[in-house]
Structure 1
Amino acid sequence: MTAAPCRADLVARLTGLTPGQRARLRGRIPQVLAEQRRLTPGQRRLWLTQQRLPGHPVDVVCQAVHLTGGPVDLDLLAERVRGFAARHEALRTTFEDGGSGLRPVVHEELPPLLARTRCADADAAHRLARELAAEPFDLAAGPLLRVTLAEGPAPDEAWLLVVVHNLVFDAWSFELLLDELARPADTEPAAAPAFSDYARELRQWLGSPAGQEAAAYWAGEVADAPPPLPTDRPRPADGTSRKGGRVDFTVSRAVTEGIAAAAQHEAATAYAGWLAVAWAALAEFGGRQDVLLGTFTAGRDRPGTAEVAGYLLNVLPVRLRDAGDGSHAARVRAVRTATRAGLRHAAYPGELVAAEVRPARVPGDHPLLDAVFVFDNLGEGGREIQGARADTADLDKGTARYDLTLAVYPGPDGTEGWFEYDSELYDEATVRRLAERFTALAGAAAGAGGRA
């Protein structure tokens, strides 16, 4: 295995590009700085998807938080939600498409849409959250945050339903919101740096030597990319409507601990262990070891970004090619090497990486990525709000952001996860077989301690 590339490696990558690729690479960053003067590349992609699929909740966060084990003051929760939205610039932002082009508009005041109701059970709460997500967002008028607080059938049960457009929010932002709701009464709220400051710093970084090095690295990673995974039906030339479904799966606590232990044995994280299992499953599914996956990064490595609410999430490619002897341990080592190399350049927007691929690898909103891997252990330690246990469910909205998305959520009692699929491309039976194969490979990897 090779170490993370140094500057000489990046120069070698540049040298290996064709004259046309080098010309596009040189010209891309000034073009990006001009085009993305106001929106980040990620926000621009979300906006374009919204325009192509108006009223379709593809890029909408839809979370249901079940509060149990103690009475919760819903008035206080509503007050905290209002305060959180008021402090964070992104949640006071709308988007105007006028003669001067698309631009964000930050309002002095833009209260979230708050409602109160009662829910008889979890099914009713989840159904209500999906209905909130299905209501089209007016990106020009706002607000882009909707929260419903629901009393349960007993005094010690309630629901917090959060629906918000990804243009102003991501998974990390949701955790910041939960932090605020759980904040003790005798403490001050956390600082709220402005999203616009992050966006400006990102534009500056793209034009820096580090940004140019990152562009060269990613151009090399996606050069001669493998074909996308097979589908049950051909991909339409203009992309699909992104209607989708999910196949859920669970993995036992013993297998979860085995995957983590096998990864630790190779000086890697549990993320690398699970990604190695995903690689094995998708390589088998696609019939080739060279697999190109998208993987999520929080986009919060710079000082001060940990407290920024907004869409900082980045989806970058990870190229997995050499499985060595085919063992789980060999795959973990290869994943560790690939992800550590990419981590040095993780601030570079994935949308700009995709823009360098000619022709597009897949049609539609994501011209580079057909399959994405999600690993989320942010809530692994559990959480309490006002003394009540808070359990969060990421709800299926009947949409698919990518052709295939594999999500893995490890917890103290095992791992839950799902395969989300584009139903215009895949049959549920196909994805169900893939999920069964993934869990079988996970069990084999854990049982062998990573040695086979």
Structure 2
Amino acid sequence: MSADLVARLAALTPEQRALIRQRIPQVPRKQPQLTPGQRRLWEAHRWVGDRPVDVVCQVVRLTGAPVGLDLLAERVLGFVQAHEALRTTFESDGEGTGDGVRPVVRPRLPPRVVRTRCAGADEAHALARELAAEPFDLANGPLLRVALAEGTAAGGGPAEDGADGAWLLVVVHNLVFDAWSFELLLDELARTADTGPVAAPPFSGFAHEQRRLLESAAGRAAAAYWKAEVAGAPPPLPTDRPRGSGTGRSGARVEFTLPRAVADGIAAAAQREAATAYTGWLAVAWAALAEYGGRDDVLLGTFTAGRDRPGTTDVVGYLLNVLPVRLRDAGDGSHAARTRAARTATRAGLAHAAHPGELIAEERRVPGTHPLLDAVFVFDNLGEGGREIQGARAVTEDLDKGTARYDLTLAVYPGPDGARGWLEYDTELYEAPTARRIAERFTALAEKAAEGGHG
């Protein structure tokens, strides 16, 4: 702006300035809005009485080299400042519905970072569960809690030369974070001193692009596809106790492991059907749940990262999308036939995978924290290659928090030694023997399917 123009503006009377403002077109500033995924999480939070259920809770063990916890803390603080999602809180009008909630991005919102010591895995896991069980103040934050713990020697003092390593415990509400975001955090912590941090695209940009997509022709086509896909959907799977309105989503897990021969066999069988290992395992899950429910028509939830569009790879926030997969044409009932049908169903949905699962119209309503889905399938190989942080090997350890996000969650994690997994169940709906029976049938069917994969 030129000095002459500045002088002329300064000489204007208040009335003249007001007249100019009236003549300048005012562009209304859009208020931030919840994404459909965030709205579901908010409503689920209210459903369970504000109990922390939709929470990322990760335990990272650091071994093999001394770790500077001060540097870790500094990197965490910088990561939060760089990513607006982690500086976001949620103001409510008091009605308790997602429509009355507004995201507020704060200039600064430091996470809670605590320093402590842990004698071993049991103590670290107990501390992580404690952090995850503490209620979140969504209106004021912070929504990220981090504990940095030194390992301790037998006598209770600090371990020498990092022999017992260190622990990084991360607890974040899903409203601002997902599993991919956790990997981005680990990338930042693993960054060497001679490299700078990666760009931090704002979550609000993703939210804006998602709304724009929904209003487009592609968005309308996706809505029509998913509406047809779930039309006439089967009822939810049977439970030991009736579904009601008061479940607090208390949960437990039945864990299992399968040898490498089984994992390799399922992958080989899937490859013969031009399918992925994920599809092969999905076919096994379908068989187990169809047997349990007494019908081959099964509606399962599956997860997509929600990062297939340009510019979303480095976004921190809740981009995860939970979509239904309709599995119903089992053919002759063989594993090969189920794999082919699962491949067809998943590939058809890929073209519309950006459509928020929460917006899919459906005829059935499931009481609980998700309006459409009672059971979901998880197949996760994120971060299986491992990392080094300050020269220490970083291994993420899974944690049972004692909660259940869905009625049933069947998870499979492949690895170099085979596959491990668990069946998580809502203890207010299912008895432990029922959950064990489902998990045992899943492993038995996986072993049977793998026999055909080695040949």
- TM-score, normalised to structure 1, is 0.89
Of 182, 186, 190 in structure 1, the residue corresponding to residue 194 of structure 2 is 186
Shift of 1:54: 3.4
Aligned to 1:114: 113
Counterpart amino acid of residue 435 in structure 1: A
CA contact (8 A) 1:263 1:450 kept: no
Shift of 1:36: 10
In the alignment, does 2:48 pair up with 1:44?
A: no
Counterpart amino acid of residue 228 in structure 2: G
SS in 1 for 2:444: helix
What is the rounded CA distance, in whole Å, between the counterparts of 1:37 and 1:175 in structure 2?
26
Shift of 1:359: 4.6
Of 310, 315, 335 in structure 2, the residue corresponding to residue 328 of structure 1 is 335
C-alpha distance after superposition, 1:171-230 (max 9, x if no partner): 100111111111121111111100000001101110100000000000001000011111
CA contact (8 A) 1:405 1:420 kept: yes
Equivalent pairs, count: 413
CA contact (8 A) 2:49 2:248 kept: no
Aligned to 2:408: 404
Aligned to 2:3: none
What is the rounded CA distance, in whole Å, between the counterparts of 2:209 and 2:135 in structure 1?
31
In the alignment, does 2:132 pair up with 1:140?
A: no
Shift of 1:101: 3.4
Counterpart amino acid of residue 242 in structure 2: P
SS in 2 for 1:307: coil
In the alignment, does 2:56 pair up with 1:61?
A: yes
C-alpha distance after superposition, 1:351-388 (max 9, x if no partner): 111xx22351x212212111000111012222222222
CA contact (8 A) 2:91 2:101 kept: yes
Of 283, 295, 299 in structure 2, the residue corresponding to residue 292 of structure 1 is 299
What is the rounded CA distance, in whole Å, between the counterparts of 1:396 and 1:280 in structure 2?
25
Unaligned runs of 5+ in 1: 1-34
Counterpart amino acid of residue 268 in structure 1: A
CA contact (8 A) 1:55 1:135 kept: no
What is the rounded CA distance, in whole Å, between the counterparts of 2:406 and 2:308 in structure 1?
25
Relative to structure 1, is the Cα distance of residues 204 and 239 closer, same or farther in structure 2, using a 3 angstrom cutoff? farther
Runs of 4+ in 1 over 6 A off after TM superposition: none
SS in 1 for 2:167: strand
SS in 2 for 1:330: helix
What is the rounded CA distance, in whole Å, between the counterparts of 2:193 and 2:241 in structure 1?
55
| Structure-to-structure mapping, 1:230-245, within 5 angstroms | 230-236=238-244, 238=245, 240-245=247-252
What is the rounded CA distance, in whole Å, between the counterparts of 1:413 and 1:183 in structure 2?
28
Counterpart amino acid of residue 206 in structure 2: Y
C-alpha distance after superposition, 1:372-411 (max 9, x if no partner): 0011101222222222221112311111111000111111
Aligned to 1:272: 279
Aligned to 1:204: 212
C-alpha distance after superposition, 1:300-358 (max 9, x if no partner): 010010100000001000000111121111111111111010010011111111xx223
- TM-score, normalised to structure 2, is 0.88
Relative to structure 1, is the Cα distance of residues 299 and 54 closer, same or farther in structure 2, using a 3 angstrom cutoff? same
What is the rounded CA distance, in whole Å, between the counterparts of 1:128 and 1:103 in structure 2?
32
In the alignment, does 2:353 pair up with 1:357?
A: no
In the alignment, does 2:176 pair up with 1:168?
A: yes
What is the rounded CA distance, in whole Å, between the counterparts of 1:331 and 1:383 in structure 2?
36
CA contact (8 A) 1:54 1:136 kept: no
What is the rounded CA distance, in whole Å, between the counterparts of 1:450 and 1:242 in structure 2?
40
What is the rounded CA distance, in whole Å, between the counterparts of 1:179 and 1:260 in structure 2?
29
C-alpha distance after superposition, 1:46-104 (max 9, x if no partner): 11121232341211111111111221111111111111111011001001114893111
Counterpart amino acid of residue 378 in structure 1: L
SS in 2 for 1:306: coil
Aligned to 1:73: 68
CA contact (8 A) 1:328 1:450 kept: no
| Structure-to-structure mapping, 1:213-224, within 5 angstroms | 213-224=221-232
What is the rounded CA distance, in whole Å, between the counterparts of 1:213 and 1:408 in structure 2?
32
What is the rounded CA distance, in whole Å, between the counterparts of 1:259 and 1:390 in structure 2?
29
SS in 2 for 1:380: coil
SS in 1 for 2:313: helix
Higher CA-based Rg: 2
CA contact (8 A) 2:37 2:318 kept: yes
Unaligned runs of 5+ in 2: 1-29, 153-158
